[in-house]
Homo-oligomer: A and B are copies of this chain.
Amino acid sequence: MTPSKRAEADLPGGASAQADTAAWVEALYRGMLLIRRFEERVYRLFLEGEIPGTLHQYHGQEAVAVGVCDVLRPDDWITSTHRPHGHALAKGVSARAAMAELYGKRTGCCAGKGGSMHLGDPSVGMLPAIAIVGGGNTVVTGLGLAMKLRKSDQVAACFFGEGATNEGAFHEGLNFAAVERLPIVLVCENNLYGASTPYHRVSLVPDVAERAKAYGVPARIVDGMDVLAVRAATAEAVASARTGAGPTLIECKTYRFTGHSRSDACDYRTDDEEAEWAARDPLLVHGARLEQEAIEQLEAGVRAELDDAVEFARSSPLPEPHEALDGVYA
């Protein structure tokens, strides 16, 4: 049983099961590490002028993407946001295809047309990321509706920030999902800020989970810095969705370790606050469950994977200019 096949199963007991568990704990760590190192590389390559465009990075929130996607099957779907690198890697977009996309290469997961803000790949169950805040929250209802109408037991997960909960899309999407009992998991990454704006200045209700009540939707608040906590809550929500019980909202309390976008110095946050959250780094939290040696091995593996990804992206061909005109219509 590979980690991703574990799906809704509980942590296994017994001897060989314990080996399984260890491998799975490592796999979760590796998933987060890949995102962290990917983001670090990408940031450097961006500063060096190799990667064009703009970036919204995922450092700090790795436990959410990995914890959620670990529960999902390949034929489950996710929607993502302007900050999609972590979601993409966690759902199974290869580092090569993601990196090449950031480079604007034809081998990218969107053939160079999506770029950082629209990473995604239908073949692994990820829509091109929607960079309109809240945009995924209505579209995901359609994914759920298709699954329901086809009586499949697939599930769709929708990632969004706490800032998105003030959009009309959050409201309409959640209510429709509730009424139709769609197989959807709403994953709110509450990192306290929408761009520079702290949530407490734009919502009198500090917990997004509170809002779910307005729609009769069950909600859970979890430690978004602990991949196992995220995973456990997701497993419950996914199981419930698969059996037709409708949507669940999971609010993951988390923090982005970088600026909102590439040029943000985060002067609207205090050093204390940043330090406090840095101490809860998901790699530290989960790393404590691994041997140091294992971590080093994983680092090496990830480094190799990213070396390869960068090499792949660099050596990939640019799209031909005329390709810009393809793919608008089917």
- A contacts, CB < 8 Å to B: 166-172, 175, 178-179, 201-205, 210-211, 213-217
Contact = CB atoms under 8 A, between A and B. Distances in A.
Given A168-B168, A172-B168, A210 B214 contact: yes
This protein's copies in its complex: 2
A137 B20 CA distance: 54
B213 A214 contact: yes
Contact of A214 (B169, B172, B214): B214
Given A210-B214, A214-B210, A216-B204, A172 B179 contact: no
By DSSP majority rule, is chain A's interface helix, strand, loop, or mixed? helix
Contacts of A214: 205, 210-211, 213-214
5 contacts: A167-B168, A171-B172, A179-B204, A205-B213, A213-B213
Contacts of A166: 171-172, 175
Nearest to A217: B204
Query: Which residue of A169, A171, A211 has the most chain B CB atoms within 10 A of its CB atom?
Result: A171
Contacts of A169: 168
Contacts of A215: 203-205
Contact of A203 (B179, B201, B213): B179
Contacts of A167: 168, 172
Query: Which residue of A204, A211, A213 has the most chain B CB atoms within 10 A of its CB atom?
Result: A204
A134 B177 CA distance: 20
A205 B178 CA distance: 10
Nearest to A246: B204
Contacts of A203: 175, 179, 215-216
B210 A213 contact: yes
